[in-house]
């Protein structure tokens, strides 16, 4: 599956500097061919995010924000909200995903 993401690092000051797919995979220490790698690759369309989200301090990777917004389009993702409109539980969900890259709980057969 081709990614819609194009890195904007080093381009116009008006463009957000989103991390490349490879940078995201490296930052998360993703196991190749894992369910987490697939999830990250499937959520690279950053056009749904606000440009300032590329450099905020919320601590959520862009792929998780895209995934959340796809599944929760009714959300209000305001720059005026310190959380950016994302639920706090996403921090813990992100940590869980990094430590369970199959995206399965112990004893669980399905995926998230």
Q: What angle do CA 101, 103, 107 make, to 5 degrees?
A: 110
Q: Is the pLDDT of residue 108 over 70?
A: no
Count of CA atoms in the C-beta half-sphere (13 A) of 34:
18
The pLDDT of residue 109 is 58
Across the chain, mean pLDDT equals: 88
- How far is Cα 83 from Cα 5, in angstroms, rounded to an integer? 24
pTM of the complete model = 0.82
pLDDT classification of 106: cutoffs 50, 70, 90 = confident
Alpha-carbon distance values, 54 to 18, 36, 100 (Å): 6, 21, 25
Q: What pLDDT, in 10s, does the model give residues 1-26? A: 444 444 445 455 677 899 999 999 99
């Amino acid at each position: 599956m081709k990614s819609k993401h194009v890195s904007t690092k080093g381009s116009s000051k008006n463009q957000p500097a989103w991390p490349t797919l490879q940078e995201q995979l490296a930052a998360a220490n993703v196991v190749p061919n894992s369910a987490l790698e697939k999830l990250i690759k499937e959520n690279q369309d950053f056009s749904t995010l606000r440009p300032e989200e590329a450099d905020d301090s919320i601590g959520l990777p862009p792929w998780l924000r895209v995934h959340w917004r796809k599944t929760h389009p009714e959300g209000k993702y305001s720059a005026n909200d310190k959380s950016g409109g994302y639920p706090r539980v996403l921090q813990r969900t992100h940590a869980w995903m990094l430590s369970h890259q199959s995206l399965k709980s112990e004893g669980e057969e399905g995926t998230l």
